[in-house]
Amino acid sequence: MIKQIAISSSQIKLLAEHSKKNSPNESCAILFGKTENNITTIKDIFFAKNIEESPVNFTISNDELISAYSQAEKKNLDVSGIFHSHPVSEPYPSSTDKKYMEVNDVPWVIFSNIEDKFMAYIYNSGIVQIPLKVS
């Protein structure tokens, strides 16, 4: 099981800016990286459009998902995480997030616009918080 996500401070800044730019709606992105010794290191970000344009849900189009997986493969990276924001709530998985986390077995990084805070989780027989190491 993945025990930690390593991400750069510049990537954190880009994700926060993406979230604030898309507010009041949720923003979303696919995180590319590599996992070694149960630590996932984020190497690149694929910024996606929330086609729901909703402040409480997000959906990435099938075309963008296909493009993301193709780009990850070309860069010799894995799809290593899912990112989205919570514009007006805490950075904890919603009931909808929990449902989708069960079928997407990568870490989920959530940013709260109101708390200016990032948290990371993975589904492992339930929602498990994992450390987010920013360097």
Residues annotated as catalytic (active site), given as ranges:
26
Q: Are 5 and 133 in contact (CB under 8 A)?
A: yes
Phi-psi region of 52 (alpha: psi -120 to 50; beta: other; left: phi over 0): alpha
Task: Indicate the pairing of strand 132-134 with strand 4-7.
Answer: parallel
